[in-house]
Amino acid sequence: MSALDVTPAQFRRLADRISSLAEQWLADLDSRRIAPDTTGAVTEALFAEGLPEEGLKDAALEALKPVMDGSRAGNARFLAYVFGSGEPVGVLGDYVASVINQNVTAWRSAPTIVSLERSVVRSLARAVGCDGFTGSFAGGGSAANLMGLAMAREALAPANEEGSPSGVVYASSEVHMSIPKAMALLGLGRKNLRLIPVDSEWRMRPELLERAIAEDRAAGRRPLAVVATAGTVNTGAVDPLPEVSRIARAQGLWMHVDGAYGALAAMALPDAFEGMSLADSLSMDAHKWLYQPVDCGVLLFRDPGAARKAFSFSGDYVRTMNADAVEGFAFFDESMELSRRARALKVWLSVRYHGLAAFREAIRRDVENARRMESLIRAAPELELLAPARLSAVCFRYAGRVPDSERDAFNARLMARINARGRAYLSNATLHGRFVLRACFVNHRTSPEDVDTVMAEVLAAAGELL
């Protein structure tokens, strides 16, 4: 008998206790303060003892409550970053993924889960209008973007064998930081990322993309790929995908769409994402606008051969020995990961439980909530809207009774004040060099009444500061 053995009955007892804690946590989620009222010293002190030499048995669970209480980002009025709400059936799917602890490497070692993931990927691709794409789950949008650009590089400027890759990548000036990071990690270099200016609605200007490509060619450089964003992190802008695709095709460039924030909203708003299916690769985050618990990114691509060119390095010990297309399939041939959690399981369970229609409806509700906030901002003379709410991000700031030169500092203090009051949680963005408050709706719990509460909190916090 191992010292680590837990009998099925003991497991059930522990799981029941954790289920009770989870039930209470969910029941209280929207009524308790969002930002925990704590300090760095307090949170460090919670764990100062480190890990024990002797096991605490059931008493080990007692320390879970402060950990759970200190984590409330699923709250309906937590509108910071792009943070999905941790849909509870998806949570249970994640639990099952840990129970079966299946390593989703290849069909031969994980047949059912590999087929499940392939099916979920195909279904999501179809749901966002990219029928025929395949792909795989990944840690998140950053990992999916890195893989998309690795595929672009190997397709057009292979470095797998020779090293020293080169090439220029184009993206709008609103690009997410994961793209310059991917440039650096792939050895392409951050200086080879060209930032194309945006129009008045924060979308890439295609004529300037075309000009930048021509300038690079004239200077003897090799244009490699365009990254179009389908939902920029600041304002939710969707680049003009049909025009970007036309240019990419005409110039022989790879087109990657960073849809980490927005792409899954194509399930509900297909018109806003016209041209997305013209991409060669597309990233999207089910832990954002499909409400799944982190981590749950997805990379879709049109050509599995291009994925294998970038990622297939099979050594003997993992070589699959089967000619059958399904039975010979290995995710490690099409992804940068080898050991992989069964991330698709939570999506599968969550969508089977609720149905795709319920997700489309939740996405539409988020968009309506953003529009509601936008109109409340327009109606408030002391507030200024900084970008139209095209998807579900709203950027605004307090302008009344504060001189222009002090508005950045005032709004930074205002954000801290709003969050410290504990009933709303916002983050910030920089637009035209100005500090703005930002709310992003990707939470299925948020209601129109929550939007009204958040706006009341903004004005109350401003009143406190003035």
Ligand X SMILES: Cc1ncc(COP(=O)(O)O)c(C=O)c1O
> Which pair of structure tokens corresponds to residue 266?
């194509």
- Report how far residue 112's alpha carbon sits from residue 92's, in angstroms, rounded to the nearest whole number: 18
Of 16-24, 207-215, 255-263, 402-410, which segment contacts ligand X by CB under 6 A?
Answer: 255-263
262 φ, ψ to 5°?
-95, -30
DSSP code at position 400: T
Among residues 182, 196, 297, 385, the one that binds ligand X under rule CB under 6 A: 297
Neighbouring-strand partners of residue 431: 434
CA distances from 235 to 203, 260, 346, 347, 438 (A): 10, 14, 29, 27, 8
Beta carbon nearer to ligand X, 284 or 461: 284
In the shown chain, the binding pattern of residues 44 to 73 toward ligand X, with x for contact by CB under 6 A and - for none, equals ------------------------------
Q: Is the peptide bond prior to 295 cis by the omega test (within 30 degrees of 0)? A: yes
Which 3-state string (H, E, C) describes 41-86? HHHHHHCCCCCCCCCCHHHHHHHHHHHHHCCCCCCCCECCCCCCCC
Of 26-34, 129-137, 257-265, 303-311, which segment contacts ligand X by CB under 6 A?
Answer: 257-265
- Report how far residue 343's alpha carbon sits from residue 93's, in angstroms, rounded to the nearest whole number: 9
Least distance between ligand X and beta carbon 184 (Å): 15
Least distance between ligand X and beta carbon 288 (Å): 7
Neighbouring-strand partners of residue 198: 204
In the shown chain, the binding pattern of residues 86 to 125 toward ligand X, with x for contact by CB under 6 A and - for none, equals ----------------------------------------
Least distance between ligand X and beta carbon 461 (Å): 25
Beta carbon nearer to ligand X, 176 or 423: 176
Beta carbon nearer to ligand X, 228 or 373: 228
Beta carbon nearer to ligand X, 183 or 461: 183
Least distance between ligand X and beta carbon 90 (Å): 15
- Report how far residue 134's alpha carbon sits from residue 118's, in angstroms, rounded to the nearest whole number: 7
Site for ligand X in 213-242 (CB under 6 A): 229, 231-233
Asked if residue 292 binds ligand X (CB under 6 A), the reply is no
3-state secondary structure at position 90: helix
In the shown chain, the binding pattern of residues 178 to 197 toward ligand X, with x for contact by CB under 6 A and - for none, equals x-------------------
| Residue pair 293/92 in contact by the 8 Å Cβ criterion | no
Of 59-67, 258-266, 311-319, 431-439, which segment contacts ligand X by CB under 6 A?
Answer: 258-266
Least distance between ligand X and beta carbon 139 (Å): 7
Q: Long-range contacts of range 413-418, CB-CB < 8 Å, 24 or more positions apart?
A: 413/465, 414/458, 414/461, 414/462, 414/465, 417/461, 417/462, 417/464, 417/465, 418/457, 418/458, 418/461
| Residue pair 326/107 in contact by the 8 Å Cβ criterion | yes
Beta carbon nearer to ligand X, 260 or 462: 260
Beta carbon nearer to ligand X, 226 or 233: 233
- Report how far residue 244's alpha carbon sits from residue 258's, in angstroms, rounded to the nearest whole number: 13
Site for ligand X in 122-141 (CB under 6 A): 140-141
Please count the residues of this chain forming the interface with ligand X, following the rule CB under 6 A: 16
Asked if residue 384 binds ligand X (CB under 6 A), the reply is no
Beta carbon nearer to ligand X, 157 or 279: 279
Beta carbon nearer to ligand X, 213 or 233: 233
Among residues 35, 80, 82, 298, the one that binds ligand X under rule CB under 6 A: 82
Among residues 75, 85, 105, 142, the one that binds ligand X under rule CB under 6 A: 142
- Report how far residue 398's alpha carbon sits from residue 410's, in angstroms, rounded to the nearest whole number: 8
- Report how far residue 345's alpha carbon sits from residue 341's, in angstroms, rounded to the nearest whole number: 9
Helix (H) or strand (E) holding 137: strand 134-138
Least distance between ligand X and beta carbon 222 (Å): 25
Asked if residue 261 binds ligand X (CB under 6 A), the reply is yes
Beta carbon nearer to ligand X, 415 or 442: 442
Asked if residue 176 binds ligand X (CB under 6 A), the reply is yes
Asked if residue 258 binds ligand X (CB under 6 A), the reply is yes
- Report how far residue 353's alpha carbon sits from residue 51's, in angstroms, rounded to the nearest whole number: 38
What angle is formed at CA 228 by the lines to CA 201 and CA 385, rounded to 5 degrees?
20
Short-list 387, 465, 367, CA closest to 430: 387
> Which pair of structure tokens corresponds to residue 185?
């990690």
Beta carbon nearer to ligand X, 285 or 333: 285
Least distance between ligand X and beta carbon 17 (Å): 31
Beta carbon nearer to ligand X, 383 or 442: 442
Beta carbon nearer to ligand X, 390 or 423: 390
Cβ–Cβ contacts within 10 Å for residue 372, how many? Answer: 18
Interface ranges with ligand X (CB under 6 A)? 82, 140-142, 145, 176, 178, 229, 231-233, 258, 260-261, 285, 297
